[in-house]
């Protein structure tokens, strides 16, 4: 996939639509989607929902996702939930996630 398309720089960004797609994948226990969805719920003002972020992070912990516990602790401490995590294919999401 071309980087410009992958990062959405050539299409309109719609946080609510993005959340809907992440929800579809997270409901199927896709680990990357669970972490990304919880980060978006914790950090993006237009879709912020800390209860849902906590719920998905707890689900991630149930599935054994290493980053889920760290991010849950950040959330419960009232800190910004870190946006960096390593997805299943080894790619590390960083600061571009919240652009």
The Cα 55–Cα 48 span in angstroms is 13
The predicted model gives 71-89 an average pLDDT of: 79
**pLDDT given at position 52:** 96
Output the CA torsion 49→66→27→6 (10° steps).
80
Instruction: List pLDDT tens digits, range 7-66.
Output: 445 545 677 788 888 899 999 999 988 998 999 899 888 888 999 999 999 999 999 998
What backbone torsions phi and psi does residue 2 show, to the nearest 5 degrees?
-70, 135
Give 76's pLDDT tier (boundaries 50, 70, 90): very high
- Is a pLDDT exceeding 50 seen at residue 2? no
């Amino acid at each position: 996939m071309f980087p410009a398309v992958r990062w959405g720089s050539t299409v309109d960004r719609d946080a609510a639509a993005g959340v809907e797609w992440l929800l579809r994948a997270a409901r199927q226990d896709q680990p990357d989607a669970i972490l990304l969805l919880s980060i978006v719920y914790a950090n993006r003002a237009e879709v912020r929902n800390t209860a849902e972020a906590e719920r998905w992070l707890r689900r991630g912990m149930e599935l054994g996702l290493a980053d889920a516990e760290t991010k849950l602790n950040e959330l419960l401490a009232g800190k910004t939930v870190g946006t960096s995590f390593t997805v299943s294919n080894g790619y590390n999401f960083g600061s571009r996630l919240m652009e």
